[in-house]
Structure 1
Amino acid sequence: MARPPEGGDRDQICAVGAGVCEVALTNSYYYVRMATGEDAADRAITQKVKLGFPSLDGKGAHINISGGGVAANAPNKANALKLLEFFASADSQAHISKNNNEYPASPDVPAPPPVDAYATFTANPMSVAAFAARQPEAQSMMSAAGWR
């Protein structure tokens, strides 16, 4: 990268649009929000940059995941589980995706507009358990490389 990252995801997109750097890492929903929002300056920035999903050797792009759990000592486990089941339902996933410009967690729920325009990427199939087990190794490599 041309410089250490500064600010948040929108700032990274703006830096690429301003020519400060050629590549930035960002969550796709920020780009979609900027490209389809009411702010004309944000929309203009997204006309200068392209959202891409890098795929090393055709193995697919990394995707962030969201998850939920219930603590072992939770005082109201039954209702906590019901809440997680509610969030995982097709109706909730459709609502959350539509209102956050994110991809639904359920493969049975289609990506809503305008997210669907960017839904043709290939996701890396590595399980969360597999990359979680290697997180300390990855962190060590990033630290050795000076990543902050």
Structure 2
Amino acid sequence: MKKILYSVLLALVCTAVAWSQVVNVYSYRQTHLMEPLLEEFKRETGIDYRLLTGAAGGLLERLVREGANSPADVLITVDAGNLVAAKQAGVLRSIESDILDVSIPAHYRDADGQWYGLSARSRVIYYAPDRIDPAQISSYEALADPKLGKRICVRSSSNVYNQSLMAAMIAHHGAAKAEEWARGLVNNFARQPQDNDTAQIRAVAAGQCDVGIANTYYFGRLIASDAAADKDVVAKVAMLWPNQDDRGAHMNLSGAGVTKSSRNVGAAIKLIEFLASEKAQTIYAEHNNEYPVNPSAVLSGPIQSFGEFKADTLNLSELEKYQAEAVRIMDRVGWR
């Protein structure tokens, strides 16, 4: 009887301790994207959360400014470039987790354990099928061919998605050839870089250009939309997976790391482990139109219609070496 009472008491104490824990999350991802996941984490573990969202640069500056006094336990970002920036700023700590090592492929996590990818997206090519032959644009390299002409829409070089694509080109080809490619790409711009990824897809549909570069989940959102204008865009634009005959399509991530200032490291690791779980990964795919990084998770939502493709398996921690050079190259070739 005493053993039973002791077991019950211990369970109650453990539950009370769990419910007293709070993980403070700084997130570049918007509240409506994160709360379904955080609420599920709370239900499963009893660990509560506080969520602060903001722009990438602003939150990183805040973490640096707060230093050791920061209340943040976990930083959630979009794009490997932002993960690299957080690591270089010294606001993350290295962690070890067998669960994360099993759940997340090696090329989607930092070699030093400072960040882990949570969902993947590809930066692909969109085109007007009535105005361009997809054989002309079968690779990223083909976009720099002068025969293509001034037909490309893309957003600014200040956008971290483009910086990461540029860094990947350096990783694959070396700086000199990557700069040659970037110069050819700029020469094929139909207009000055502007707006967001969705705007590039819309511009193709509107005839402002014939080719656009944007992440896959933006097209997923358009497919999922009930708005007539969005349906019209989807009807006029096709998506192309680049480099399927060689290295595969460029991939990028949203991801997370435990902050150096965290006072609740164990719970912070549990949160990232949960976000890498099959259940959370399926939620990512369904609600955010992104690809799960956990191979056990099921594809859902509009991305199912994109079909199978060959993905570039470049280790995204490699981008850390090339991000600064990527920005310098983009500046030199006039990619504004």
Give the structure-2-normalised TM-score.
0.42
| Pairwise CA distance, 1:57 | 5.8
AA aligned to 2:230 is: D
Tell me what 2:202 maps to. Answer: 14
- 3-state secondary structure, aligned to 1:65: strand
AA aligned to 2:199 is: D
Structural mapping, 1:41-60, within 5 Å:
41-55=229-243, 58-60=246-248
Q: Structure 1: which 5+ runs fail to align?
A: none
1:101–1:115 CA contact under 8 A, matched in 2? yes
1:97–1:104 CA contact under 8 A, matched in 2? yes
2:252–2:316 CA contact under 8 A, matched in 1? no
| Pairwise CA distance, 1:49 | 0.8
User: What fraction of aligned residue pairs are identical, expressed as a percent?
Assistant: 38
| Pairwise CA distance, 1:131 | 2.5
AA aligned to 1:110 is: V
Q: In structure 2, do the counterparts of structure 1 residues 94 and 117 end up closer, same or farther at CA, with 3 Å as the change threshold? A: same
Tell me what 2:257 maps to. Answer: 69
1:10–1:30 CA contact under 8 A, matched in 2? yes
Q: Structure 2: which 5+ runs fail to align?
A: 1-188
Name the larger-Rg structure.
2
Q: In structure 2, do the counterparts of structure 1 residues 119 and 106 end up closer, same or farther at CA, with 3 Å as the change threshold? A: farther
Q: Which is richer in strand?
A: 2
* Residue among 91, 96, 121 paired with 2:284: 96
AA aligned to 1:146 is: G
1:111–1:119 CA contact under 8 A, matched in 2? no
In structure 1, distance between residues paired with 2:281 and 2:252: 16
User: Bigger relative contact order, structure 1 or 2, given CA contacts below 8 A and separation 6+?
Assistant: 2
Tell me what 2:99 maps to. Answer: none
1:101–1:114 CA contact under 8 A, matched in 2? yes
* Residue among 303, 306, 310 paired with 1:122: 310
| Pairwise CA distance, 1:36 | 2.6
Aligned pairs, number: 148
| Pairwise CA distance, 1:102 | 1.0
Higher alpha-carbon deviation: 11-20 or 115-124: 115-124
| Pairwise CA distance, 1:101 | 1.1
Give the structure-1-normalised TM-score.
0.92
CA RMSD of aligned residues (A): 1.6
